[in-house]
Chains A and B, each alone.
Chain A
Amino acid sequence: MELLLEQLELFAEVVAVSRSRHVDSWGRVAVRRALRWARYLRHVHGRFRHRGPVRAVLEEGLRRLRLRSQSGVGDAAHAGRCQELVPGPLRSFAGLGRGDELLALGLLENAALRGPALHELLRHLRPERVEPAPEAGDEDEAGLQDRLAGLARRRAASQLLLLLSPGPAQADPALRSTEAQLLLRRLHDEAEADPGAAARLLDRLWAQLPRPRWLNVLATALLLRPDRAEGENHDEEDPGTPADPRQGAIASLLAWLLARPAALADLCRLLPSSLIASLAGRHSALAEACLGVLMNWGSRLHFNPVRGAWVGAGLEGLPWEELRDRFRCLCQAPAPLRDQARSVLDTCKARDGGFEAPGLSVWTDLLRDIEGRSMLRVLF
């Protein structure tokens, strides 16, 4: 088993090299060997897939391996540098069965790979192999072609279905929920290796990815049902997966969000009101936190008598209209969120003296507005 894990670790490095500029030293033989190696791991995957105990040991080993690579105890410094290039799934049991695909795709798109080496790879993608395959490799070889073709077909299929999307393709809800599912899967895998890893990953992604879009992905992930039936599980026949991998991932995402005031503020500011209300409706801790942020913004508004409006929340806050929309949505949500939002408004209004006249307390005006009596009608 140890030997197998070592081999897997080495193969992960091979894949990392295949995606780096160091691949320029590869010739035909190196490509052939790497593919043979991938085939061997695929064979291992096929053999132990249905054998719970062996598989469990192997998965435990993979977890340790991930942990080691993350803490930077990699043997070769050069491989350590390449760790970022190893696709996440390769370091899981399901990934064992897909090494050849990842290798082939990595090589194909790596411009550093030289002509003869690429030629060797392409030779493996044709139906008639020149080289005889002694260790029952024929089936796998056809398997690699079929899986790559299947991938192309699925991509074409999603492109075709995207033609139906009325708005821009990027806005399609299916895209967002796919990203959200993959995020949760990754969080789950990370948390298994090291409880702190999920938060580190989220910090890195927060710094790296464009804000409104990434927030949408986070929100979608928080709204996904913790349900196995939707097929979160990446290996359907996986006997070793805990009953609900999604729930744990959602919990760690929520914990991360609640501990990051800046992220929470961005969430309240940049996402549409209805989405915030759905999130708050699903997670009570988030409801409390969001109401806290909104309360803070509200208290920083002041009434401008010349303009007859509430102004000035600073760069971080929200203008009055948007604050009103957020509260309106929250107050229209089902109980207990509705009551919670209402009670925040009532408490704040009481704290300001409980006056009914407009323009004195932002909370009074918000309440009036939400109750359907616009300020204009009261004034004139």
Chain B
Amino acid sequence: MECLVQGTSKKVCYQITEYWRKMAQDRLDLPLNFEFWLNKAVAWGQTTTLESQQDVCLHLPQLQKFLQQIYETLKHMDFSMAIDRFPLIGQLLGRLCWNPFVIGYDENQKILMWCLCCLYCSEPQNSIEVEANIWIRSLLCHLLSSSKLGLNEVGSVIQALGYTSPDYYPELLKNMVLSLVTELRVNHLNGFSIQKIIPERQIKAISLLCVPLLTLPDILPLLEALLTYHGGEPKEILSSEFLEGVNEAFLQKKIVLSESAVFSLWLRHLPSLEKATLHLFEKLTSRYINIPEELEGVIKDSLLPQAACHPSIFRIVDEIFRNALLETNGTSEVLTIIQVFTQCFVQAFQKDSKQLKFPLKSYFPYASPSLVMILLQDPEDLPRGLWCQHLNHISKTLKNIVEDQSTQSCGSPFEQWFLFIHFGEWADIAAEELLMWRAESPEALLWLLAFYYNPHDQNQEWIQTMVDVRAVHGHIMKLFDRTPLSVKDLQAVAGESSEDGTRQPSTQRFIRHLLLNFLLFSSEGHTIAQEFIITQTDEIIDEFLNLIARAKSRWERLGMETPRTGKLARDLLQELQCYRTKHVL
């Protein structure tokens, strides 16, 4: 449990850091903080030192926001009004236009061009305006590189050839990128030898110079070469600004990187991996996605399950899942996410078979290896008639490990439960098998499902839970014969009548899971399913939605959907989703 505590405190620390970062950002977002940016522009100068380069890179996103605000103000003004409002605007724009870091970043150059175009007077009224026009024109020429092509001697060759800057710069950039990529490759091949074309410290400088240019497609081969480059020393040789920037651009889908480059980024830079995982989590929970197929699409698109084939990535992602599970007290939404993520991971892991595979132990170091092997069994590869037997086997193995307190080799019961959660499909199957009359004795399956919902240590509470679920299971089985069936009958079983109010919330979730399956499989249940579900609280309706979506997706995958249950599940999903959407609005 110690790591749980650690994990939780890590999460809290993260939240505090995020809070302070947002506070700091808000302060910078204050409208038209002109003086601040002018001072920055002066301090940056030609940005020749590493420190000033780092400082520019750090401020680029905010600077762009600021420039956008300036333009929004300027566009409604003529030159004299603009000078009245911002007497030092010329100094600011002039300095920024000469800073390649600023010009290279995202849309800065475009906004600067707009600002300069705004300030140009069509009919200058006095000598200041005439002077200003000349200045604006020369600055625009400089910015758009129409004059002189920057380097005099080079310019003369290109001009003599009859080419202009639009022909020249894209080619030049391509060649520069190509030559750096080649040099990095040669460096890499030379391995530990001292004979390197680019010294290691210069690689950091290259990575920093790339920060403003990350979203420029021309630079992509260089980004990939840097990300997959490792120096001779264990210390990180790429600048953290670069690594954070690449990760952010990738998550925002502003750049498309090869899988190997992304994996390399996450392996070498932990904050990026954490951010990518939280980003995925936010994406999965912020929108109303509860269909496993949709979840699967979003999850695979994140490249995280594929990256998780590397155990160290898997364990970081898993640690974050663990925190989410604890923070939310294991809502069925989070359970579904972990379950679908694991399915995607297993697919990637099995597909990856050609490459060097890591042993399963390295992914689940705290869990019993035999349990991992049993849980990994895909129900699709097992005849349906053997599912119950397999579930009994899972139940028996889990129970042995959990109850055998003397052997501590396999980690705490929580660890076994956390492992079981990943393969929650077996719990869902157990909940179905319990109502199918297939289980010879329901005891093992009841224990398994009870453990799924309540992983606490064996104690008095647990004994009570088992007594409860046995009784409820018996009740539900009797309901199959009852006609007509009423919502009240179900509510009675669900423990919504007053005398059962003392039941554990986890036990109630267990019972709801069984009840839902009853509604799906019994002929009478069909008629009152919706009526029963909408009498519940929003939270419970969401839980039902998750369970139905999971069941439907599993039936489709395993080809076990019957027309009747399939239709009911589809209708229920649709209606409940409509109901929930209306309710939220």
Q: Are A105 and B144 in contact (CB under 8 A)?
A: yes
Residues of A near B121 (CB, < 8 A) are 115, 119
Asked if B140 is an interface residue, CB under 8 A from chain A, the answer is yes
A102 to B26, CA, bound (A): 42
A217, CB-defined interface residue at 8 Å: yes
Collect the chain A residues with CB atoms within 8 Å of residue B218's CB: 154, 157
Compute how far the CA of A118 lies from the CA of B218 in the bound complex, rounded to whole angstroms: 31
Which residues of B sit under 8 angstroms from A108, Cβ to Cβ? 137, 140-141, 144, 146
On chain B, the residues within 8 Å of A5 by CB distance are: none
B304 located at the interface, meaning its Cβ lies under 8 Å from any Cβ of chain A in the complex: no
> Judging by beta carbons under 8 Å apart, are B165 and A155 in contact?
yes
Is residue B122 contacting chain A, with contact meaning CB distance below 8 A?
A: yes
User: Counting CB contacts under 8 A, is B245 at the interface?
Assistant: no
* Contact assessment for B122 and A145 in the assembled complex, using a CB-CB cutoff below 8 Å: no
Tell me if B44 counts as interface (CB < 8 A to partner A). Answer: no
Are B174 and A169 in contact, CB atoms less than 8 angstroms apart? no
Cβ B151 vs Cβ A169 within 8 A = yes
**Bound complex: CA of A269 vs CA of B172, how far in Å?**
28
* B474–chain A nearest beta-carbon distance, Å: 70
8 extra interface residue pairs, beta carbon distance < 8 Å, beyond A125-B114, A146-B110, A175-B151:
A105-B164, A116-B122, A118-B137, A125-B113, A149-B113, A158-B169, A186-B162, A210-B156
A-B contact pairs, 10 of them (CB 8 A): A108-B140, A115-B124, A152-B110, A152-B144, A157-B219, A158-B173, A158-B176, A164-B180, A178-B168, A179-B161
- CB-nearest residue of chain A to B103: A156
Q: Are A152 and B163 in contact (CB under 8 A)?
A: no
Tell me the bound Cα distance from A115 to B165 in angstroms.
24
**What residue in chain A is nearest B209 (Cβ atoms)?**
A160
With A125-B117, A158-B172, A158-B176 in contact, do A105 and B110 touch (Cβ < 8 Å)? no
A residues near B (Cβ < 8 Å) are 87-89, 98, 101-102, 105-106, 108-109, 115-116, 118-119, 122-123, 125-128, 145-149, 151-164, 169-170, 172-175, 177-179, 181-183, 186, 205, 208-210, 213-214, 217, 230-231, 234
User: In this assembly, does B499 line the interface, its C-beta being within 8 Å of a C-beta of chain A?
Assistant: no
Give the contacts of B98-123 with A (CB-CB under 8 A).
Answer: 100-101, 103-104, 107, 109-110, 113-114, 116-118, 120-123
Closest CB of chain B to A42's CB: distance in Å? 13
Interface centre among B100, B175, B178 (most CB of A within 10 A): B175
Contact A159 B109, beta carbon cutoff 8 Å: no
Asked if B103 and A153 make an inter-chain contact with CB atoms under 8 angstroms apart, the answer reads: yes
What's the Cα separation between A128 and B114 when bound, in Å?
10
Does chain A have a CB within 8 A of B166?
yes
Given contacts A98-B166, A115-B122, A158-B173, contact A153 B75 (CB under 8 A): no
The one of B120, B161, B166 in contact with A151, judged by C-beta atoms closer than 8 angstroms, is B166
Asked whether any CB of chain A lies closer than 8 Å to the CB of B362, the reply is no
Interface contact B110-A160, CB-CB below 8 Å: no
Interface range for B = 35 or more
Partner of B174, one of A105, A159, A231: A231
Q: Which of A161, A162, A182 contacts B163, CB < 8 Å?
A: A182
Alpha-carbon separation in the docked complex, A156 to B169 (Å): 9
A88 touches B161 (CB 8 A): yes
Q: Which residues of B contact A172 (CB under 8 A)?
A: 176
User: How many Å from the CB of B563 to the closest CB on chain A?
Assistant: 49
Q: Given the complex, which residues of A lie within 8 Å of B212, measured CB to CB?
A: 156, 160
Give chain A residues whose Cβ lies under 8 Å from the Cβ of B157.
179, 209, 213-214, 217
Whether A164 touches B100, Cβ cut-off 8 Å, given contacts A108-B144, A151-B166, A170-B154, is no
By a CB distance below 8 angstroms, the chain B residues around A230 are 178
* 7 shortest interchain CB distances as A-B pairs: A88-B162, A149-B110, A156-B104, A156-B103, A119-B122, A105-B146, A152-B109
- Quick one: which of B405-443 are within 8 Å of A by CB? none
Contact check, A174 vs B172: say whether CB atoms are below 8 A apart. yes
Q: Which A residues lie within 8 Å of B158 (CB)? A: 179, 182
Residue from A151, A163, A174 within 8 A of B145 (CB atoms): A151
Determine the chain A residues whose CB is within 8 A of the CB of B15 once the complex forms.
none
Q: Does B160 contact A (CB under 8 A)?
A: yes
What residue of chain A has the Cβ atom nearest to residue B177's Cβ?
A: A161
- Chain B residues contacting A159 (CB-CB under 8 Å) are 100, 104, 150
| Interchain nearest-CB distance for B247 vs A (Å) | 20
Q: Pick the contact of A115: B133, B146, B163, B176 (CB < 8 A).
A: B133
* Contact A148:B161 (CB < 8 A) given known A160-B212, A164-B205: no
Of B104, B154, B206, which is within 8 A of A179 by CB? B154
With A and B bound together, what is the CA distance between A101 and B162 in angstroms? 15
Considering the chains assembled together, what is the distance between the CA atoms of A149 and B104 in angstroms? 10
Q: Which of A119, A153, A179 contacts B216 (CB 8 A)?
A: A153
Question: Which residues from chain A contact B177 at a C-beta distance below 8 Å?
Answer: 161
- A151 lies within 8 A of B219 (CB): no
- In the complex, whether B233 has a CB less than 8 A from a CB of chain A is no
CA of A71 to CA of B151, assembled, Å: 33
B167 within 8 A of A: yes
Give A121 to B213 CA distance when docked, in angstroms.
Answer: 28
A156 to B116, CA, bound (A): 18
Least Cβ–Cβ distance between B76 and chain A, in angstroms: 11
B171 to A, closest residue via Cβ = A178
CB distance from A153 to the nearest CB of B (A): 5
Chain B residues with CB below 8 A from A102, complex form: 164, 166
Closest chain B residue, CB of each to CB of A148: B144
Contacts of B109 in A (CB 8 A): 149, 152-153, 156
B449 interface residue, CB < 8 Å from A? no
B163 touches A173 (CB 8 A): no
**Cβ 8 A contact of A119, one of B113, B120, B174:** B120
Interface centre among B75, B167, B212 (most CB of A within 10 A): B167
List A contacts of B103 (CB < 8 A): 152-153, 155-156
B153 within 8 A of A: yes
Residues of B with C-beta under 8 A to A164: 180, 202, 205-206, 209
> Is B232 part of the binding interface, using a Cβ–Cβ cutoff of 8 Å?
no
| A154 near B173: Cβ-Cβ < 8 Å | yes
- B25: interface (CB < 8 Å): no
Pair B122/A178 contact, Cβ less than 8 Å: no
